[in-house]
Amino acid sequence: MRNSDLTHPITLYLIGFAGSGKYTIAKEIAKSGYKVIDNHLINNPIFSLLDLDDATPIAENAWISVRKIRHIILDFIAQDQKSNFIFTNALLEKEGDWKIYNLIKETAEKRGSLFVPLKLTLSPEEHKKRIANPDRKTRFKTTNPAEVHIKKEMIKIDHPHLMEVDVTDLSAGEASEKILSFVKSLESSFPANEGRHSAGEIILDETNTSEIREALWQGVRAFNQPYTGNIITQPFALSIRDENSKIIAGIYGFTFYDHARVEYTWVEESYRKQGLGRKLFQKLEEYCRSKECSVIQLDTLDFQSPVFYEKMGYEYIGTVSEWINGHECYFMRKML
C-alpha cells in the first residue's frame, strides 16, 4: 500500500512494551511507503550524551530536553498532509504516557490523516528472548530481562481504529502484513474529509464578545492540555486604600502553573514616591512564593516603570519597538 494508492495520509502508532519488536515491525511497514518516527529517534540525541545503564533512572532535565525535541518534530510533521508516518512507543497507563499518546493523536488529526493505534502483545517467554538481543544496545535500548517480570499495565486505549496484535509467533514481515491488511480495510471506508467541517462566514462583533472569548479560551485550554497538563489559572489582586476606603494603589494579575503574570500596576499620583510600589511588589513576591511560583512576568512601556522594575530585580527578556505612538514595550521577568 504505497502513497500513490491512497486518497489521504495515514498515521500508525505502534505501542508495546520494550522489546516487543515495535521498531523491527515498523521498518517492515516502512517498505510500503511509511516514514518511521521511532521513539528513540526522539530520545537518542539526548540519550547519546548520557552514561546510560539499566539501573540508574534518567534525570528529569534529560526528559525535559526529549520533550522539546518531540514537540519540534510533531510541529513539523503536522504540516505534512501527504506522507504516511508510523510512530513507536512503549506507553503505560500513566499520565505522562497519556500526554504523549494524545500529542501523536492530535498531530494525526491536524494532518487530516487516518489514525490507527496498534497494540503489540507477546508471551513472557518470547518477550524475554527479544529484550535480551544485544543489538538493542546500539540504539540505547534496555536489554535487561528483568523488565519482563516488572508488573506494568499498558495504556488502555479506547479508539474505533484500535488493533491488538499478538506477535509471539509472528515474524516482523508477518506482523507487518497483518497490520497493513487491517489498515487497508479501514482506509477504504475512511472519508477524505473526516475530521473536517464546512465553515460559515466570518462575523465581526465589537459588543457581545464575552461568549466568543470564553469559547476561544476553552478551546485554547483543551488544545494546550496534552502539552501542559491541566493548568489552573488563579486571579489575584493586591490593593492599598486611603482612610475613605478609596483604592490608591494596587497590582492585578494571575498565577498559572508555576508562573505569575502581572497585568496592571498603578499608584495614584499624589501617593507616589512614598514607597507604596516597592511594598506592593514585596508583598507580591511573598504571595507568589506561597503559591510555589518560580517566575513573575510583566510588560511595561518606556514611559511607565521599567527603571522601577529593574530596581526590584526584574530583567529584560524582550522588546517591541514603536509599540504605541512610537514608544517601546519591554517584557520583563524576575526569577524567584
Question: Quick check: is 207 in a domain?
Answer: no
Query: CATH no. for residue 326?
Result: 3.40.630.30
- Helix (H) or strand (E) holding 90, with range, is none
Q: Is residue 286 part of a domain?
A: yes
Final residue before a domain boundary, out of 155, 187, 219: 187
Spatial separation of the C-alpha atoms in residues 251 and 263, rounded to whole Å = 8
pLDDT in tens, 190-237: 655 454 555 678 888 888 788 888 888 888 877 877 777 767 789 999
Backbone φ, ψ for residue 255 (5° rounding): -110, 150
Q: With the C-alpha atoms ordered 39, 40, 42, 46, is the resulting torsion angle positive or negative?
A: positive
Retrieve residue 3's grid coordinates. Answer: 502513497
Residue 80: strand, helix, or coil:
coil
Bridge pairing between strands 247-256 and 295-301 = unpaired
Q: Which domain holds residue 129?
A: 3-187
Domain count, the chain: 2
What CATH code is carried by the domain that includes residue 77?
Answer: 3.40.50.300
320 belongs to a structural domain: yes
Q: Quick check: is 212 in a domain?
A: no
Residue written as cell 508583598? 283
Residues in the chain: 336
| DSSP structural state of residue 232 | P
Nearest residue to 136 (alpha-carbon basis) of 17, 220, 252? 17
This prediction has a pTM of: 0.55
**Cα-based angle 172, 175, 181 (whole degrees, multiple of 5):** 140
Which amino acid is located at 177 in the chain? E
Residue at 209 is within a domain? no
Same domain for 134 and 21: yes
Closest residue by Cα to residue 116 from 68, 91, 84: 84
pLDDT by residue (tens digit) across 143-180? Answer: 555 554 455 788 998 899 999 999 888 999 999 999 99
Shared domain check, 157 and 19: yes
Judge if 118 and 237 occupy the same domain: no
pLDDT in tens, the chain (336 residues): 444 455 689 999 999 887 788 888 999 999 999 999 988 888 888 888 888 776 678 888 888 888 889 999 999 999 898 999 999 998 888 888 888 999 999 999 988 899 999 999 888 777 767 665 665 555 545 555 555 445 578 899 889 999 999 988 899 999 999 999 999 888 766 655 454 555 678 888 888 788 888 888 888 877 877 777 767 789 999 999 999 999 999 999 999 888 999 999 999 999 999 999 999 999 999 999 999 999 999 999 999 999 999 999 999 999 999 888 999 999 999 999
Q: Are residues 246 and 124 part of one domain?
A: no
